[in-house]
Structure 1
Amino acid sequence: MIAEPRTYNGAPLRKCTHVSGRDFLTLLRFVMRHKWLPFAGMALGFGAGLAALALMPPLYSASTRVMVERDALRTEAQIVESTPVFEKVAGTLGLYRDPRFAKESVFEKIMQSGDEENALRERVIGRLEKIVSVRALEGTGILDITVRFSNPERAAQIANVVLSAYRERKMDERFEQSREISAWMGKHLESVRKQADDAQKRLQDYQIKYGIATDSDTGARGQIQILQSQIEAGEVAIAALKAKLAGMPEPQAKAVSPALKTEEAAIKKQIQIQGQRYGDKHPKMIALNAALQSVRAKLSRKTMDPRKAISAEIADTEDKLGRMRTELEAISKSASEGSKVQYELTALQSEAAANMRLYENMLVKYQNVVADADLQDQGLKIVSMATIPSSPDQQNRLSLLLGLGITGFLIGALVVFIRAFFNTGFTNAAQLEGMTGYPVFAAVPDAAMKGVAIHHTVIEKPAAILAESLRSLRVALRLRSDNTIRGPRVVSVTSTLPNEGKTSLAVMLAMIAAKSGERVCIVDCDLRRPSLHKAFGIGNARGLQDYLNGDSSVEDVIYRRDSSGVHMITAKAAPTYSLTLLTSGRMELLIQDLRDRYDFIVLDAPSSLAFADARVLAKMVDQTMYVVSWNRTRREGVLTSLKAYADMGYENLALVLNKVDLREYLRESASAVVYQYGHEETPLAAT
């Protein structure tokens, strides 16, 4: 599709805000103009189909149907069309000896390589695959097996044998599956049993190793509860004793027994004497120390009051609580370790139970498989067998004919859209104006005749459409007037690239103006590829360069002897310093001199995409005519070239759509009425 256009700053003549819609309409019109191509493709497809049907023998269809599980329809259809089934059919019916299946074609003889037996097998199976089709009936669990063959008896026979081979294949699969399951179970049943025994043995060994009983964890929890209860009772007793002690009065001093004091002093003296002879570890020293402690205890009891007794009881109770807390911590730690052992024990018990269940389940399945001796094709029910068809299958022939017709239509439509998509040129004035923002003054048809130069056509056939379009262009130039009454007098003609017809257009425009009585001069300003002298069939020994170099006067370089009445200034090729000559002051003097001599001056300028010559001349003229070749000049090139004019702020530029295919152009242009009016009997020359 055409990219979104851009409006350049130097192109204020028109705002292109409607290009997308116009471009879509252009594409649609292009498709409609070539609508005959898809229908021609359809006709060609129908013709090919009729020819093929005339050469093809009639085909007969024979069908058989079988009911299977609905969830397995696709799988069962693939099994019916599998190679083992077709091999069984070929062997049963002797198709390897049937020339309709076994005979080699010329192409197969050329391409055959390898074993001949394998080639025969592949050839027969391949032809069976072509004539057998399997489809699932929608909403049911029924498979339809259809055979299309040139012989009706053979078609029915093949269909029924395919069904039989399919049933045998299913029975073989079921038997093989049962045999494999039985063999696998018999092989692995003992290993599963061994795994179960090993798991049970590991469980027993673990219980013996740790002396685990089922209620061991419960006993530990009971001991912890008892100790906690005793600790709580001790704490309550200590609190009561402390309260009692706080409420007792201070004790009175008691007399100390003299005898006990004397005994204490004597023992101390003995310890001192014996300590000089024995060490602290000697039995005598140990006995003396014990006696001293006993006497001191008696003295303490003699002097002890009730408060001290209660304090002693409190200390004794706290000591018991400490021992109970230590015992509680040890039992809790032991219970924690026992939980880990119990966890591992539970895991071993689960493993043993799982292995035993697996063994029991496998044993039951193994017994069922062994007991299943009567193998039936469960799930398969024959709905109908094939009968010999009485008439050919017309649906297949109609499908072939319709398919070829639709294919031809689609190919034709594809060709049209490809041509439209890759059409990178301009095909109508509205499209050209919309994308560039510059006005289109005329659409000039391509009316060249064999053996006649195109610019002579306007002289020989002044009433032709070509001459009429050029007169319209001249009128458009007259009407394009800002400050002058007669419109632009000096016009430059350029194009994007060479060979777009700018020189021929410039010559014809000059001839049309001269024919109407104007004094006209055309100047060849294309110093890179001069061609004006070729158009008029004259020499170019003396021309524009001579004047610009100062070697000749204006009178010397003007040629006045052409029968068309057009005066001209030719040129010689000077590509290296073309731009230098055109930018000299003498070029502007020449144009001013020609304004005084002629009514209309046409400058044949170089192409604009690669060179700046035409833009230099544009500053010296009243109007620039930019020639675009119909459906040939690429849009990107035109936009790039015109951007240079827009960037320099040049406004006096108009477009001419040249070399137009008039028949194509009139189908999509509003100018059709204008061109056709008064020219119904004027034949258009073919290009």
Structure 2
Amino acid sequence: MTEKNEPLPTGYDAYDDEAHETPILLQYWQAVLRHKITIAAILATCIALGVIITLLMTPYFTSTSRIEISREQDKVTNVEGVTGSDGAGQNLEFYQTQYSLLESRSLAERVVRSRNLATRDEFFDTFGVDPDDSGILSATPKTQTAAQRNARLKLATDLLQEHVSVSPIRGSSLVDVNFESPNRNLSAEIANAWIEQFIASNLDRRFNSTADARKFLEEQLAELKQRLEDSERSLSGYADNKEIITLSSEQTPDGKTVSQKTLASANLEALNAELAQATADRIIAESQARQRAGNENALGNAALNSLREERAKAQAEYAKLMVQFEPEYPSAKAIESQISALSQSIAAEEARSRRGTSARYGEALAREQKLQRQVNRLKGQFSGERRDSIQYNIFQREVDTNRQLYDGLLQRYKEIGVAGVGTNNISIVDRARPAERPSSPKLLINIALAILAGLGLAAAYVFVMEQIDQSVKDPADLKTKLGIAPLGSIPDFEKEDILTSLADKKSVAWEAYLSIRTSLSFLTDHGVPRSFLLTSTRPNEGKSTSAFALAAVLASTGKRILLIDGDMRNPSLHQMLGIKNSAGLSNNLSGTDDLAQLVHPKTAFGFDAMTAGPIPPNAAELLSSTRMRDLVTKLGATYDTVIIDAPPVLGLADIPLLANSVEGVIYTIEAGGVKMRGIQSAIQRVRSSRAHIFGGIVTKVQPQHSGYGYGYAYQYSYGNKAAAEA
């Protein structure tokens, strides 16, 4: 026999945490299977409620109107813009603002007022709302007080906001406005009125947004107008004072006024041209006067040239006559006299021509000198005017600047006056039409929602129940929650006779206990423990059945096994074997040493048995002596294994006394039975007696609720199949 706190041998590694830890998903599935009937009931109830509620719901009709909202940039002046430069972030901000405006309460109130919904009782009746239930006294529109009208307006606005929805179309500037109501015509009317009032409110906002700008521009225009008038008066007064007379001027592309010609500059230009001409005439006259040859000067005289031509003809005729006649010839004398007369005339004409050239020279010189004096006087006047034009240009620039500002603001003021009237960035794409079929309720969607709700309730129920139910459900809980090794699990046989099942070595019960026997062989260095007892937290957890079955399974291997019924308060072994309980353990503890009279050899299941014997008045006193330990030691010399079916732990003092007599304790736990706290308290009580707990057996496990149940079902089916084939 090993020491009570001796560490487990190397073979015990088969029972470490990882070998028996159930996957988390499998734990969830097992929890679902444990509550499958309740889950099915919850789902069925939710689905039924979903169908009933769907059939009882009022059908709603949804009408949709579509609008396009364009991004634009409004400006009031060239100097300062209302909106900044366009960008992706500002586009997103702009459209989010528009969507919020579409859902605003102010827009809903505009729709209510435009359609007089607050005074239409049929509108409230459509939604099944009675204004009287809202504290609004029924009265005609003429007799309603302001408070009543405001209350009806608020109620109608709340109804609109509750049933309207805005659906932007992704990747576009299109927006759908949806309105649902029990009346298909009302839905279309409200959807169309909604977008109409949105457009109207947008125009109102745009017009109202320029009110401050218009007021500002009016003030600026009045100020600039006065400044322009003052600067023009200053310019005109200065020009009159300085006698600056502008004959022509023009404006440059940048709006500046440039004087092209003044009176002084025009006079100076004209006199300067005359002076130049007079100078030219004087030079010509002077040249003619200084010529020494008068004939050269007379070449231009027509009369003189004519006389010379006649004289030349006369001389030619005279020379011809001289060829034939003498000088005294009368015809010759006559021609000679003609030639003399012509010569005198030519001389006289030449003298007259020379006198005219001198006179012309004098006149040209006098005219030139006079014009020169006038030009000099105008030069002085023009120089003074140029000095005065500096200040004149300053006044002129001030006038130009004021006029440009005034004209620019005046143009902007005119634009603001019609801002938003001619154009609008919101346009209607599709108007709403009455819906042909209801949009809600939708049976399939409601059933799906009911299923989801049922699953949610079922999950909550399972979670709560699992938290409340702290019993052992899985053999893996033994190690994780109780700190003992899981030796195996026994399925729930329900009404099946365990003795009949153990008689068939191909049954599920036999296979289950056979696997436990395999686990027992790894508990000590010498294999199956020489002595051990089976106990439980409370009665009816399957410890007696497990002790009986383990004795039968161990005996089937050819070993000598003794099963002792140690539960002297509630014995059961004699009933299971069908023998009398006339003598047994209580007799030995009372002083009987003849074991042959107390042991029933070779039972039908192959092991020897010692019943509990007559029920003593106080079993704890019998167990407190050393006879129990001596009995186990004595029987250990005869039998390979001694198994004791011990009483439950809670409420009794038997287990701490019995545990010191055997090599170890096997704890039996009913699946879904005692709460975890009670089991922990019982195990702690066993350990306080310095008893060694080999492990635990979980009984009454539902095969479909545990990951270990599949093996039993498989083995059972396999065994039956093999039997059938045999």
TM-score normalized by the length of structure 1: 0.53
Alignment-derived partner of residue 585 in structure 1: 626
Partner AA of 1:61 in structure 2: S
The answer (yes or no) to whether the contact 1:11–1:651 under 8 Å persists in 2 is: no
- Measured in 2, the distance between the counterparts of 1:469 and 1:110 equals 77
- Measured in 1, the distance between the counterparts of 2:703 and 2:179 equals 58
Please list the CA deviations of residues 238-290 of structure 1 after superposition, one character each: whole Å capped at 9, or x if unmatched.
xxxxxxxxxxxxxxxxxxxxxxxxxxxxxxxxxxxxxxxxxxxxxxxxxxxxx
- Measured in 1, the distance between the counterparts of 2:581 and 2:588 equals 13
Alignment-derived partner of residue 645 in structure 2: 603
* Change in CA separation of 1:82 and 1:574 when aligned onto 2, cut-off 3 Å: farther
SS at match of 1:14: helix
Alignment-derived partner of residue 391 in structure 1: 436
- Measured in 1, the distance between the counterparts of 2:585 and 2:411 equals 115
The answer (yes or no) to whether the contact 1:582–1:616 under 8 Å persists in 2 is: yes
Please list the CA deviations of residues 622-679 of structure 1 after superposition, one character each: whole Å capped at 9, or x if unmatched.
4522213325566788788778989999777142111211332367643331234446
Alignment-derived partner of residue 62 in structure 1: 64
Alignment-derived partner of residue 501 in structure 1: 541
Deviation at 1:181, TM superposition (A): 7.5
The answer (yes or no) to whether the contact 2:542–2:670 under 8 Å persists in 1 is: no
Q: Which residue, out of 200, 206, 215, partners 1:168?
A: 200
Q: Is 1:653 the counterpart of 2:675 in the alignment?
A: no
The answer (yes or no) to whether the contact 2:492–2:700 under 8 Å persists in 1 is: yes
Alignment-derived partner of residue 95 in structure 2: 73
Alignment-derived partner of residue 249 in structure 2: none
Q: Is 1:524 the counterpart of 2:567 in the alignment?
A: yes
The answer (yes or no) to whether the contact 2:488–2:515 under 8 Å persists in 1 is: yes
- Measured in 2, the distance between the counterparts of 1:469 and 1:405 equals 45
Partner AA of 1:132 in structure 2: V
Q: Is 1:90 the counterpart of 2:136 in the alignment?
A: no
- Measured in 2, the distance between the counterparts of 1:11 and 1:185 equals 101
* Change in CA separation of 1:172 and 1:437 when aligned onto 2, cut-off 3 Å: same
Q: Which residue, out of 429, 447, 452, partners 1:407?
A: 452
Q: Is 1:447 the counterpart of 2:488 in the alignment?
A: no
Partner AA of 1:447 in structure 2: F
- Measured in 1, the distance between the counterparts of 2:719 and 2:164 equals 67
- Structure number with bigger Rg: 2
Alignment-derived partner of residue 612 in structure 2: 568
Deviation at 1:80, TM superposition (A): 2.0
Q: Which residue, out of 514, 531, 553, partners 1:472?
A: 514
The answer (yes or no) to whether the contact 2:543–2:645 under 8 Å persists in 1 is: no
Deviation at 1:427, TM superposition (A): 4.5
The answer (yes or no) to whether the contact 2:188–2:432 under 8 Å persists in 1 is: yes
Task: Give unmatched runs, 5+ long, in structure 1.
Answer: 1-7, 188-360, 681-687
Task: Give unmatched runs, 5+ long, in structure 2.
Answer: 1-5, 72-90, 139-147, 220-404, 722-726
SS at match of 1:392: coil
Q: Which residue, out of 710, 714, 719, partners 1:673?
A: 714
The answer (yes or no) to whether the contact 1:60–1:155 under 8 Å persists in 2 is: yes
Alignment-derived partner of residue 418 in structure 2: 374
Alignment-derived partner of residue 532 in structure 2: 491
Q: Is 1:126 the counterpart of 2:172 in the alignment?
A: no
Note the 1:550-565 alignment, pairs <5 A.
Answer: none
The answer (yes or no) to whether the contact 2:533–2:644 under 8 Å persists in 1 is: yes
The answer (yes or no) to whether the contact 1:10–1:650 under 8 Å persists in 2 is: no
- Measured in 2, the distance between the counterparts of 1:415 and 1:675 equals 36
- Measured in 2, the distance between the counterparts of 1:622 and 1:477 equals 16
The answer (yes or no) to whether the contact 1:11–1:646 under 8 Å persists in 2 is: no
* Change in CA separation of 1:44 and 1:100 when aligned onto 2, cut-off 3 Å: farther
Alignment-derived partner of residue 144 in structure 1: 176
Alignment-derived partner of residue 255 in structure 2: none
Alignment-derived partner of residue 617 in structure 1: 658
Q: Which residue, out of 94, 100, 124, partners 1:102?
A: 124
Q: Root-mean-square deviation (CA), in Å?
A: 6.1
* Change in CA separation of 1:35 and 1:649 when aligned onto 2, cut-off 3 Å: closer
Partner AA of 2:706 in structure 1: Y
Partner AA of 2:493 in structure 1: A
Deviation at 1:442, TM superposition (A): 3.8
SS at match of 1:626: strand
* Change in CA separation of 1:57 and 1:424 when aligned onto 2, cut-off 3 Å: same
Partner AA of 1:167 in structure 2: I
Please list the CA deviations of residues 490-529 of structure 1 after superposition, one character each: whole Å capped at 9, or x if unmatched.
431123x33571544357548968998976430127xxxx
The answer (yes or no) to whether the contact 1:443–1:656 under 8 Å persists in 2 is: yes
* Change in CA separation of 1:601 and 1:410 when aligned onto 2, cut-off 3 Å: closer
Deviation at 1:382, TM superposition (A): 1.2
Alignment-derived partner of residue 14 in structure 1: 13
* Change in CA separation of 1:623 and 1:471 when aligned onto 2, cut-off 3 Å: same
- Measured in 1, the distance between the counterparts of 2:35 and 2:501 equals 37
Deviation at 1:46, TM superposition (A): 6.6
Quick one: percent identity of the two aligned structures? 16
Deviation at 1:620, TM superposition (A): 1.9
* Change in CA separation of 1:395 and 1:365 when aligned onto 2, cut-off 3 Å: farther
Q: Is 1:662 the counterpart of 2:664 in the alignment?
A: no
Note the 1:242-391 alignment, pairs <5 A.
Answer: 372-376=416-420, 380-389=425-434, 391=436
The answer (yes or no) to whether the contact 2:583–2:614 under 8 Å persists in 1 is: yes
- Measured in 1, the distance between the counterparts of 2:411 and 2:172 equals 36
The answer (yes or no) to whether the contact 1:77–1:134 under 8 Å persists in 2 is: yes
SS at match of 1:77: helix
* Change in CA separation of 1:640 and 1:568 when aligned onto 2, cut-off 3 Å: closer
Partner AA of 1:391 in structure 2: E
More off after superposition, 597-606 vs 39-48: 39-48
- Measured in 2, the distance between the counterparts of 1:488 and 1:471 equals 16
The answer (yes or no) to whether the contact 1:58–1:393 under 8 Å persists in 2 is: yes
- Measured in 2, the distance between the counterparts of 1:571 and 1:108 equals 81
- Measured in 1, the distance between the counterparts of 2:7 and 2:126 equals 75
* Change in CA separation of 1:40 and 1:415 when aligned onto 2, cut-off 3 Å: same
- Measured in 2, the distance between the counterparts of 1:87 and 1:518 equals 93
- Measured in 2, the distance between the counterparts of 1:532 and 1:185 equals 111
Partner AA of 2:191 in structure 1: A
* Change in CA separation of 1:514 and 1:14 when aligned onto 2, cut-off 3 Å: closer
Aligned residue pairs: how many?
485
Alignment-derived partner of residue 331 in structure 1: none
Note the 1:632-643 alignment, pairs <5 A.
Answer: none
Deviation at 1:132, TM superposition (A): 1.3
- Measured in 1, the distance between the counterparts of 2:519 and 2:708 equals 26
- Measured in 2, the distance between the counterparts of 1:644 and 1:369 equals 98
Partner AA of 2:23 in structure 1: D
* Change in CA separation of 1:468 and 1:372 when aligned onto 2, cut-off 3 Å: same
* Change in CA separation of 1:470 and 1:393 when aligned onto 2, cut-off 3 Å: closer
- Measured in 2, the distance between the counterparts of 1:178 and 1:535 equals 107
- Measured in 2, the distance between the counterparts of 1:465 and 1:427 equals 23
* Change in CA separation of 1:9 and 1:457 when aligned onto 2, cut-off 3 Å: closer
- Measured in 2, the distance between the counterparts of 1:111 and 1:469 equals 73
* Change in CA separation of 1:557 and 1:185 when aligned onto 2, cut-off 3 Å: farther
SS at match of 2:23: helix
Alignment-derived partner of residue 685 in structure 1: none
- Measured in 2, the distance between the counterparts of 1:120 and 1:620 equals 89
Q: Which residue, out of 670, 676, 690, partners 1:629?
A: 670
Q: Is 1:27 the counterpart of 2:27 in the alignment?
A: yes
The answer (yes or no) to whether the contact 1:33–1:667 under 8 Å persists in 2 is: no
